Amino acid sequence: MNSSLDKVWKDRPETIRKYYSLLPLHERLCNEVHYILEAKLTASDIETAHITSRAKTLPSFCEKIERKSYTTPFQQITDFSGVRVVFLYPSDRNEIEKIIEDEFEIIEKIDKITDQNAEQFGYGALHYVIEIKKHHTGARYDDLKGLLSEIQIRTILQDAWAVVAHHLSYKHESDIPKELRRKLNALAGLFETADDQFQNIKVARSHYQDRIKHDISQNKDMSLDQNVNLDNLLAYMSWKFPDRKPSSREDAPTSYLNYINLITKNYVM
């Protein structure tokens, strides 16, 4: 990558100067897109592993224009700013797509899962190229108009696959030695199956809690003295205090102990 930077600096120094002149705008655009997505996802109660953002670094910029032989890089490169949303359950994908498509001007949408062709392998993600919506005006937005940003959304297992694949430096199936190809494609299938199973467990957990609430509502004297676990306890609390906002996953263990103390009036170590 350093060799690409050296070559661009030698042959096209004006390109590097322009990169630096635009960098503050791309950093601001990253922050703006990140803020909008984080606020909307939080309001929608969609659980995410993390949301990250970054402006494209100079070495990455130089490597890309050399590798792809770009002659007009500031028109051809669409990921000077990028935001990545890593979420937990495949069922949340449609809602995340709706949020993105409602909040931004969509320039391009690339589904690297369902639209994979024969030259691709592994476990993809969904990519958007977006702009800030035109109706946003004022000092905060005016100089960001027309700038492109990339948004990637993927599950936590798609993200794990991408990290490993990046480390291995395989982008196409033809890059992989034949003896490793079958193992990697089988592994990608396991990741996809695991994603499906996490979704199934989430649904089964919801059904279990609904059944517990139904059982409690049919017998208000039902005791939780035996076989108390987090899910039947949360179901009981949801029935007992229907207006109480459920605890987030971060404080669930502490809340679990607090609930037991509340019900039994004893300290649980």
For the domain with range 2-178, which CATH number is right: 1.10.443.10, 3.30.420.40, 3.30.460.10, 1.10.390.10?
A: 3.30.460.10
Q: Give the whole-angstrom CA distance, residue 130 versus residue 105.
A: 5
User: What does pTM read for this prediction?
Assistant: 0.74
Query: Residue 198 is encoded by which pair of tokens?
Result: 């996490």
pLDDT tens-place values along the chain, 269 residues long: 468 999 999 999 999 999 999 999 999 999 999 999 999 999 998 989 999 999 999 999 999 999 899 999 999 999 999 999 999 998 999 999 999 999 999 999 998 766 555 444 455 679 999 999 988 778 788 889 889 999 999 998 888 887 777 677 565 556 677 777 777 777 777 888 888 888 888 888 888 888 877 777 777 555 545 566 777 777 777 777 777 666 545 455 455 545 555 555 443 44
Q: Give the whole-angstrom CA distance, residue 209 versus residue 232.
A: 6
pLDDT in tens, 112-125: 766 555 444 455 67
pLDDT in tens, 35-74: 999 999 999 989 899 999 999 999 999 999 998 999 999 9
DSSP 226: S
CB 86 within 8 A of CB 156: yes
**Residue among 161, 189, 174, 187 at smallest CA distance from 120:** 174
Give the pLDDT of residue 242: 75
CB atoms near residue 45 (< 10 Å): 11
Query: Residue 209 is encoded by which pair of tokens?
Result: 């809690």
How many residues does the structure list for the chain? 269
Radius of gyration over alpha carbons of the chain, in Å?
Answer: 24
Domain boundaries, the chain: 2-178, 193-264
